[in-house]
Amino acid sequence: MPQDFSTRAIHAGQAFDPTTGSVIPPIYQTSTFVQDGIGGFREGYEYARAGNPTRSSLETLLAELEGGKHGFSFASGLAAEDALLRAILSPGDHIVMGNDVYGGTHRLANRLFVPWGVALSTVELTDLDAVRAAFTPATRVLWLETPSNPLMKISDIAALVELGHAAGAIVVVDNTFASPYLQNPLALGADVVSHSTTKYLGGHSDVLGGALVIDDDELAEKVRFLQFAAGAVSGPMDAWLTVRGIKTLAVRMERHSANAQAVAESLVGHPAIERVYYPGLPTHPGHELASRQMRGFGGMLSVALRGGPAAARAFAESTELFQLAESLGGVESLIGYPSEMTHASVKGTELEVPENVIRLSVGIEGEADLIEDVRQALAKV
């Protein structure tokens, strides 16, 4: 397989159809497969929950792009996270999680796994001493996002892997914000990479999905069993749409990153803006680290408004190109108010997002148009 990312994104797991010569592999829109006698499975396929050639092609592609052995495609990012945690944890175990993560991830751990008897601690991942102190003999998982959602904190993956492994923990990195084009946590020692493929991998706001990439054979087998037994798999059309999106991931991430850098720089020093959270800015505390472990700074940024919650709400509701909606990573720009939207479930906890913070998913529209849009919206604050 060629080494260039763009080449692999287009060709890995995507051989042309040998029957017709179709350049694009067909969508296997089927629920079951004819057997050549009892137990005689053609290419190993028997029932769509257990496996489907369209899903298999996506899983091969995911593993190739993240540099791992085993790729898994799920119906959503949270379905992937749930299967992984169930494959690892038992009552009495302990999770250490970053204190700035997607609200749904914390909700999953706190509302589903804690009542089951799993302990959960949240910690500032940029403070390695605090992370070390958070481990207990029962710690089984160290969960991190970098860049984090929504405050764009940058965590040292290699250093955290060293700490996690010393404590006997499996290190999981949610790589959704960066995508495999900008960052490869497995190459830095992580055990598992997770994605909401709904975001940059799909890239067009038209498909829901999640993914895991795992190197360890034993853990992969446990996840594969849960994928089959619980059944939260991606359907063939969703898998096909995700593959289609991935083929343009490289060029899209370049444009997302360039546009986000320009928008972030345009907001620095604006009288209505208290702070810009974007690792591409030299003033960002994680800028140097991000420059080392990422190949670009991505399309996500957040801003804090000087006028407090009222100003933040007014800004979010005044943009025109930036559409007010949850989610991120599509070709179109989105704006959100995390405190009441993506992170509403963590209000009242240490993960609570400041009420003056707005998150922007910068799309691939024209740079000047995006800058003008945020400026006209800020003029109404």
Contact in structure between 118 and 93 (CB atoms under 8 Å): yes
Measured N-to-C along each axis, helices 77-88 and 217-230 cross at an angle, to the nearest 10 degrees, of 120
What sign has the CA pseudo-torsion 180, 182, 184, 187? positive
What sign has the CA pseudo-torsion 42, 46, 48, 50? negative
Instruction: Count the Cβ atoms, other than its own, within 10 Å of residue 130.
Output: 13
DSSP string covering 37-94: STT--BTTBSBTTT--HHHHHHHHHHHHHHT-SEEEEESSHHHHHHHHHHHH--TT-E
Closest CA to 342 of 308, 290, 302, 305: 302
Tokens describing residue 86: 């169930």
Pairing mode, strands 170-174 and 139-145: parallel
Going from the C-alpha of 28 to that of each of 99, 234, 351, the distances in angstroms are 41, 12, 42
Radius of gyration in angstroms for the set of CA atoms belonging to the chain, rounded to a whole number: 21
Going from the C-alpha of 318 to that of each of 264, 327, 338, 375, 381, the distances in angstroms are 18, 18, 16, 10, 9
What are the residue numbers of the active site? 49, 102, 174, 199
d(CA 197, CA 78): 11
Q: Vertex 342, ends 178 and 347: CA angle to 5°?
A: 120
